[in-house]
A and B are shown apart, each in its own frame.
Chain A
Amino acid sequence: MTHTIHRYGKPEDLEYDYSIIFISARNFNRQGSQPKIRRFLELAQKHHAVNFGNMEAGSVLVIGPEKVIEAVKDGTTVQAVFSNQEDVVNILSDLVKEDLGLSVVVQGLEHRVRECCMRTNLKPHTWNHSLGIWGKTELLPEPEVLEVTTMCGHGLVAVSLVKKIFEDVRNGKTTLKKAAQKLAKPCICGMINPVRLERLLERVMEKSLVVEEEKK
């Protein structure tokens, strides 16, 4: 999940994209952590997480909330995605109140994450920043495709799948909702943000309409 900081996009799109990782540490708080992790997932649901899951079971978009929660064991790392700042502030407030005692890692636009911390009296401890992509960047797909593929840190959403679904959306072969669901499927950890995806697909459609207009 290191890769959450590399979620690609312009700041205006990243406004709709936060993730929280809930994780135990071996030799510190792993033993007996199962109920706490389950509680975190309940709180994520309460605060309108748009996706959540864990790597060993799958994501809520594919297997449903009960199965994700049921699959939690001591030490399972779980994560949830949110599409607005208020929900993040609210879940952080609850986490402060309930003091579950596991590490909480918040990802988003840095200044927004700082605001969330300030509003909940939390102090950032250790940061992980992205210095972007280096090397043969000419091998990368176009920015809109990258916005989708980098949501899955494990790189399981294929460029070819994103391109095909963009094409299907442009040709009216699928709905935005169905397209977003399809793209979320390969990402088993539940890190795909369907709200941001739908906005992105709308943008892709608008762009193709403009291109068609210009061709006329």
Chain B
Amino acid sequence: MIINQEKCHGCALCVPYCVTNAITIVNKKAIIDRELCVECSVCMQVDVCKNHAFEEDELEWPRSIRRTYSNVMSKHPQTGMTGRGTPEMKTNELTGKYKRGEVGLGVELGRPDVCTTFRDVEKVAKMLAASGFTFDHEAPTTMIMTDPTVGSLPPEILNERVICVILEGKAPTEKLPVLLEGLKKVSKEIDTVFSLDVITVEEEDGSVPNIEIARRLGYPVRPNAKTTVGLGRPA
């Protein structure tokens, strides 16, 4: 993202909208710190600049991956879709992607409010792969891995910063304790945060085994959750 210096009048209205505090006013003009900017285009989309000073510049690889992951309107080249993840469990009554006896995990690096580099993404991905986790082959981030069996990413993207990267996949339920332990350990080695999703197919009796395991091991579970209610039909 660039700000056309001739059009900018330095009113500073755009400054608070930047999700990474990349916009500052210098000599009565707004400028963008290229290192901080994740190319999300929020500053442009909110249409706050009456002078239309924001311009999306052509981005070359690997910087272009910032836009791919941070601008929700941009299509991911690997999936051809907007959005950074898969439908995960949202259509599971139809797709059967997750089954009883399995645990699905979504590790949402950078969210909320912190952003992430791919270096941190790779650290978490390698830990998951080494703990018996299988990455979802339809997930955009799996598609860019150089080797999904070990969780490695192309070296040239490791320093690129984006709003969020989601690692998605599953493992047999018995691996859940070791995966949570590994996530606890790696969470101390990264310079960002992640939000953690745990996916479970409900049992006939209404129980949710993966969450019972997490609670028993002392991991706090948030009070809100989401569920499919089977209206897409075949279960």
Contact = CB atoms under 8 A, between A and B. Distances in A.
A177 B191 CA distance: 37
B116 to A, nearest CB: 9
* Residues of B contacting A: mostly: loop
A135 interface: yes
With most chain B CB atoms within 10 A of its CB, the pick from A126, A127, A154, A156 is A126
Contacts of A210: none
Given A102-B232, A155-B164, A21 B222 contact: no
Given A101-B232, A156-B19, A161-B17, A127 B87 contact: no
B196 A131 contact: yes
Interface stretch (B27-35, B52-60, B182-190): B182-190
A11 B221 CA distance: 13
A31 interface: no
Contacts of B231: 95-96, 99-104, 122
B112 interface: yes
B87 A135 contact: no
Nearest to B229: A122
Interface in A75-126: 77, 92, 95-96, 99-110, 113, 117, 122-126
Contacts of B228: 103-105, 124-126
Interface string A20-31: 010111001100
Contacts, number: 265
Interface size class of B (residues with CB under 8 A): 35 or more
Interface string A122-143: 1111111111111111011100
A93 B15 CA distance: 45
Contacts of B210: 129
A75 B180 CA distance: 35
Nearest to B221: A129
Contacts of A43: none
Interface of B: 15-19, 21, 40, 42, 45-46, 72-73, 82-83, 85, 87-95, 98, 104, 106, 108, 110-114, 163-164, 166, 180, 183-184, 187-188, 190-202, 206, 208, 210-211, 214, 219-233, 235
20 contacts: A2-B197, A5-B197, A55-B82, A92-B229, A103-B93, A103-B94, A105-B90, A107-B224, A122-B231, A125-B92, A125-B228, A127-B89, A130-B198, A130-B221, A131-B197, A133-B193, A149-B112, A155-B110, A157-B19, A158-B19
